[in-house]
Amino acid sequence: MSRAWKEAQKHIAGGVNSPVRAFKAVGGEPVFMERGRGPYLFDHHKKRYVDYCLSWGAILLGHAEEATTRAIREQARKGTGFGTVTEYETALAREIKKAFPSIEQLRFTSSGTEAVMSALRLARGVTRRKRVVKFEGCYHGHTDSLLVKAGSGLATFGSPDSAGIPEELAALTTVLEYNNLEQLESFFKNAKDTACVIVEPIAGNMGVVPAREEFLKSLRKKTKQAGALLIFDEVISGFRVGYGGAQELYGITPDLTLLGKVIGGGLPVGAFGGKKEIMSALSPTGKVYQAGTLSGNPISMVAGRAVLSRLSREFYRTLNQKTGAFLRQAQEILRMKKKSAVIQSAGSMFSLFFCGQKPVNFSTVLKSDTKEFKKFFHKMLKYGIYTPPSAYETSFVSGAHTEHEFEKTLKAFEKW
Ligand SMILES: *Cc1c(COP(=O)(O)O)cnc(C)c1O
């Protein structure tokens, strides 16, 4: 065992500050990274990797991107936080609103989980109802109410997914199957106690599984009829699949939108927003309490702005096109090598599923061969390609990836 891993495990619970980093899903020891530059990561032995994890999607323009780094450095000189109102917050809010017309007002948090938590409380406060509905395989951070999974594909009352979550709380969460229109319609025959439905419109936490259009359309219609709020969790898909997120691609307007990852330019951040009428229920104007010592901190705000202010529809066209071309070549190699694997993607998000067909929900995702993934992961690592260390996570391409990195990756694919 490496000294670094031994020391980490001595001082940090399980050696990690977030479980997937421990490589439990792929075996072996996690790689300690030391620095990043553009599309590359460098480990503590100076080995270089093409990075497709990109801080779980938070890095859109590449590591240590120049303008972002400059903004962070200049702000750090002026002070890292004051615990007061600042114009940096307003400036980033404006950038977000430009891309998301459904957001009239928003509030920043320090993580995606916090944004989720706050949005649930807000939805419950506004509707005065208790039940929340989520979909199997969608991840919304580690807040108690949503760390709940379903039985085998049937609508069930949730049972907790983690120790430490009271069953009484989990019982207020209903878990439905993703992309299952029939189940959705049957649930809404009696949804009087439902405060909100939360969904990843393009799921990224069971690998990439886009929602079917008619599924999201029905969800929009049914929630409206039932007086429940529709929450789009775009923590991954926001500023990733396109300028206006998944809601722009599908042309569907949610009541609340959750953002995170990309909007912090690689620094800790989250945000939730929607109609002013809903958002004004938050304290101090309303009765729903929500707060944060470092919420909207200047460093995250200026880093986020350095990234968002340079984005455009043209940027995404280029990014998505180059990702598409790369993935077509990758799929062709898989075909020639007769591998039972499919690639599913949305913009610059993609997953390799080791199964015969593109999955449409969590139970079909689970059909993929995780042993094959483990082998694939370690081969790629050896060849200097870093992908997320789990078969059920999404890979990403950044604006800094070029033909050169794609070629290197495809060569590794050919050797595997
Ligand atoms: C990452 C993620 C979250 C949680 O964000 P954190 O910053 O890790 O707390 C919530 N929802 C989705 C869809 C995510 O991908």
Domains in the chain: boundaries: 3-65+312-415, 66-308
CA-to-CA distance for 231 and 196, rounded, in angstroms?
7
3-65+312-415 against 66-308: fold identical = no
Tell me the fold of 3-65+312-415: Aspartate Aminotransferase, domain 1 (3.90.1150)
What percent of the chain is predicted at pLDDT more than 90? 92
If you take atom 6 of ligand 1, which residue's CA is the nearest one? 112
Average pLDDT in the 267-277 region?
A: 98
Average pLDDT, the chain: 95
If you take atom 5 of ligand 1, which residue's CA is the nearest one? 112
**Structure confidence at residue 151 as a pLDDT band (50, 70, 90):** very low
Taking the centre of ligand 1 as the mean of its atom positions, its distance from the CA of residue 331, in whole angstroms, is: 28
Q: Provide the pLDDT for residue 416.
A: 86
H and E: helices and strands count for the chain? 14, 19
Q: Is 261 annotated in the active site?
A: yes
- The letter for the amino acid at 287 is K
**Structure confidence at residue 30 as a pLDDT band (50, 70, 90):** very high
Q: Provide the pLDDT for residue 158.
A: 62
| Residue 114 alpha carbon, nearest atom of ligand 1 | 9
Find out whether 137 and 362 touch, Cβ atoms under 8 Å: yes
Q: Hey, CA dihedral for 264, 391, 118, 99, is it positive or negative?
A: positive
- pTM score, whole prediction: 0.97
Taking the centre of ligand 1 as the mean of its atom positions, its distance from the CA of residue 311, in whole angstroms, is: 22
Q: Which of 40, 134, 233, 243 is catalytic?
A: 233
Q: pLDDT, tens digit, for every residue of 224-248?
A: 999 999 999 999 999 999 999 999 9
Average pLDDT in the 122-149 region?
A: 93
Q: Which long-range contacts (CB under 8 A, 24 or more apart) does 164-167 make?
A: none
| Mutational pocket test of ligand 1: of 54, 114, 139, the residue with most ligand atoms within 8 Å of the beta carbon | 139
Q: In terms of DSSP bridges, do strands 131-135 and 194-199 run parallel, antiparallel, or are they unpaired? A: parallel
If you take atom 15 of ligand 1, which residue's CA is the nearest one? 236
Cβ neighbours, 10 Å, residue 218: 16
- Reply yes or no on whether the pLDDT at 129 is more than 80: yes
Q: Is 139 annotated in the active site?
A: yes
Q: Which of 255, 261, 386, 392 is catalytic?
A: 261
Find out whether 96 and 308 touch, Cβ atoms under 8 Å: yes
| Mutational pocket test of ligand 1: of 16, 256, 261, 300, the residue with most ligand atoms within 8 Å of the beta carbon | 261
Which of 400, 372, 373, 398 minimizes the C-alpha distance to 388? 373
Q: pLDDT, tens digit, for every residue of 365-393?
A: 999 999 999 999 999 999 999 999 999 89
Average pLDDT in the 246-268 region?
A: 98
Which residue ranges have their beta carbon within 6 Å of ligand 1? Answer: 111-113, 116, 139-141, 200, 204-205, 233, 235-236, 260, 270
Q: pLDDT, tens digit, for every residue of 77-98?
A: 999 999 999 999 999 999 999 9
What percent of the chain is predicted at pLDDT more than 70? 97
Q: Provide the pLDDT for residue 157.
A: 56
Taking the centre of ligand 1 as the mean of its atom positions, its distance from the CA of residue 318, in whole angstroms, is: 26
If you take atom 14 of ligand 1, which residue's CA is the nearest one? 235
Residue with the two structure tokens 């080995």: 47
| Residue 270 alpha carbon, nearest atom of ligand 1 | 7
Taking the centre of ligand 1 as the mean of its atom positions, its distance from the CA of residue 234, in whole angstroms, is: 9
Average pLDDT in the 341-346 region?
A: 97
Find out whether 240 and 100 touch, Cβ atoms under 8 Å: no
Q: Is 189 annotated in the active site?
A: no
Q: What is the CATH number of domain 66-308?
A: 3.40.640.10
Find out whether 331 and 345 touch, Cβ atoms under 8 Å: no
Report the residue count for the chain.
416
| Mutational pocket test of ligand 1: of 110, 113, 202, 395, the residue with most ligand atoms within 8 Å of the beta carbon | 113
Q: Which of 40, 52, 139, 386 is catalytic?
A: 139
Q: pLDDT, tens digit, for every residue of 183-211?
A: 999 999 999 999 999 999 999 999 999 99
